[in-house]
Amino acid sequence: MKVLLVNPNSTREMTDAIARTARALAGPGIEVMVVTARGTPPSIEGYADEARAVPAMLDAIVDAEARGAAAHVIACFDDPGLDAARAVANGPVVGLCEAALIAAGRVAKRFSVVTTLPRAVPIIEDLAGRYGCGRSLRRVHAADIPVLDLETDPTRVLPLIARKIRQAVEEDGAEAVVLGCAGMSAHLERLSRDAGVPVIDGVGFAIRMAAGLAGTGLMTSKTGAYALPRLKQPVSARTAPATLT
């Protein structure tokens, strides 16, 4: 089974790092197709970057389905364009935040998220509400680091993330901690080492979740909200210019 892993940002190095995690955890019978979106921001940091990334991501999903992808994973913790992706895809589409929070809720009663920048905190809080986390999500912490520094300056930023993980355990009573950025996936082993609780990266779980949905024959509903977009003509192509009489 082919599962698409689409990175909505345009940084190929980040895609490669996420892909290594996905392929290592995908399991037998799952071929991970990897795409880096074109012409999008180098990293997704907030609502404006999300909006700029979505059109190219949707095109990548449509193209991947034409090449045999049975399911799709959006490899960004903001889950940008998730509903739009489901509207253009026939196969199931899974968001990284969605998968990670589901996993956390199955292994711990209380958990926290550690992400990159403060602007991501309200985005993740809103997603947690959408996904029904309720009181299980104790807090979203920001390490206050740019996303691309995970690739370019890991020696500096990983201790900052590890400190926030310890803070979540000690102050929040978190029984598990979720890594709130796809770029953290390459560093899961190091960040888990001294945590004392499960540290969850959503990449591997998202791939298996998407494959599991497709493997049981489930497809995205094409009635109502996720119906395929209608083909439309511009008004100018359908109506003649008005004339005065």
Each residue's pLDDT tens digit, 160-188? 999 999 999 999 999 999 999 999 999 99
86 and 104 together in one domain = no
User: CATH number for the domain including 9?
Assistant: 3.40.50.12500
The answer to whether 49 touches 42, Cβ cutoff 8 Å, is no
Domain of 37? Answer: 2-95+204-226
Helix axes 202-215, 96-107, angle to 10 degrees: 100
The answer to whether 82 touches 95, Cβ cutoff 8 Å, is yes
231 pLDDT tier (thresholds 50, 70, 90)? confident
When pLDDT is averaged across residues 32-61 and rounded to a whole number, the result is 98
85 and 165 together in one domain = no
Instruction: Please indicate, yes or no, if residue 231 is contained in any of the structural domains.
Output: no
| Statement: residue 100 has pLDDT above 70 | yes
pLDDT at 234 (0 to 100) = 80
pTM of structure: 0.92
In 3-state terms, what secondary structure has residue 114?
A: strand
| Statement: residue 16 has pLDDT above 90 | yes
Which tens digit of pLDDT belongs to each residue from 108-124? 999 999 999 999 999 99
pLDDT at 127 (0 to 100) = 98
- How far is the C-alpha of 132 from the C-alpha of 130, rounded, in Å? 6
Instruction: Please indicate, yes or no, if residue 237 is contained in any of the structural domains.
Output: no
64 and 103 together in one domain = no
- Give the count of domains, the chain: 2
| Statement: residue 134 has pLDDT above 90 | yes
Q: What is the 3-state secondary structure (H, E, C) of 154-177?
A: HHHHHHHHHHHHHHHHHHHCCCEE
% of the chain surpassing 90 pLDDT: 93
pLDDT at 232 (0 to 100) = 84
pLDDT at 235 (0 to 100) = 75
